[in-house]
Amino acid sequence: MASSVAQQKPAVGNPSFESPLLFATPVGWVDAVLADFDRFLLDHAAAEKKASGMAISMLSHYPDRVELVEAMADLAIEELSHYREVVKWIHQRGGRTGADTKDAYVGRFRKSIRDGKDDYLLDRLLTAGIIEARGAERFALIADALEDGPLHKFYRAIARSEERHFELFLGLAECYFAKDVVARRWQELLEDEADIVRSLPLRAALH
């Protein structure tokens, strides 16, 4: 398959984005992605599709939360449009989408979600926000590693979208829960996420 990936350049990310993450993605992850970019695209497509499904699941689960329903309806459409764009890149490069596979990162992080009506909602919102923040960081790293051109611009735009999504989920949490409660749980989940990322192997996948 054709490749338009350049040699890795220093990652600068978006200077205006203050990442909350406690563990920075190692440079070796970018190397792994660049070494098998077509595989990365397949995983990226699957991630966007799953994100759209997650948004639909949340609005279905909480029909009485007006702010959440409206936000998740918009998010589901946006994530599916991202999926469509990634699929176009896959097809342009001669690839084809395949069956979804389990995401070890997401699977492990979901274990941090507590039972109980309020705890469960808070943790779903915050884990989703942290996952989006990780996506923002990693898509920015990819954008910085690509040659200037359409693919670079696409990943820069995707990174900025993930930044907005991170802020969206955190804002929804603060809409429904006291800020001190959100802040305390946010820090706990950030620590959980950092431990997970630190332990996972580096591969040509978003997580």
Q: What digits encode the pLDDT tens for the residues 36-45?
A: 999 999 999 9
Longest Cα–Cα distance of the chain, Å, equals: 51
Is the residue at 112 inside a domain? no
Residue 100: predicted pLDDT: 87
d(CA 135, CA 44): 10
Burial (Cβ within 10 Å: 0-12, 13-18, ≥19) of residue 1: exposed
Q: Is residue 107 part of a domain?
A: no
What the block records as the tokens of 25 is: 């993605």
Q: Which residues contact 30 (CB under 8 A, 6 or more apart)?
A: 8, 11, 141, 142, 145
First to last CA, the chain: 23
Mean pLDDT of the 51-61 span? 97
Interval 131-144 mean pLDDT: 97
pLDDT value at position 17? Answer: 65
Long-range contacts of 165-169 (CB under 8 A, 24+ apart): 165/75, 165/129, 165/132, 165/135, 165/136, 166/20, 166/129, 166/130, 166/132, 166/133, 166/136, 167/129, 168/71, 168/75, 168/129, 168/132, 169/125, 169/126, 169/128, 169/129, 169/132
User: Is the pLDDT score of 1 beyond 60?
Assistant: no
Domain presence at residue 12? no
**Does some domain include residue 152?**
yes
Kindly tell me if the per-residue pLDDT of 2 is higher than 60.
no
CA separation, residue 51 to residues 2, 28, 74, 87 (Å)? 28, 25, 12, 15
For 168-179, the pLDDT digits (tens) are 999 999 999 999
Average model confidence (pLDDT) for the chain?
Answer: 92
Q: What is the pLDDT of residues 72-125, one digit of tens each?
A: 999 999 999 999 999 999 999 999 998 988 999 999 999 999 999 999 999 999
**48: pLDDT strictly greater than 60:** yes
Q: Does a structural domain hold residue 205?
A: no
DSSP per residue, 137-167: HHHHHHHHHSPSSHHHHHHHHHHHHHHHHHH
127 inside domain:
yes
Structure tokens at 108: 């492990």
Residue 4 lies in a domain: no
Number of domains in the chain: 1
Mean pLDDT calculated for residue range 145-166: 96
The secondary element (H helix, E strand) that includes residue 170 is helix 150-176
Rounded Cα–Cα distance for residues 134 and 46 (Å): 16
The CATH number given to whatever domain includes residue 130 is 1.20.1260.10
Note down the domain range covering 166: 27-97+120-199
Whether 113 is in a domain gets the answer: no
Assign 3-state DSSP to the chain and report helix, strand, coil percentages, each to 5.
Answer: 70, 0, 30
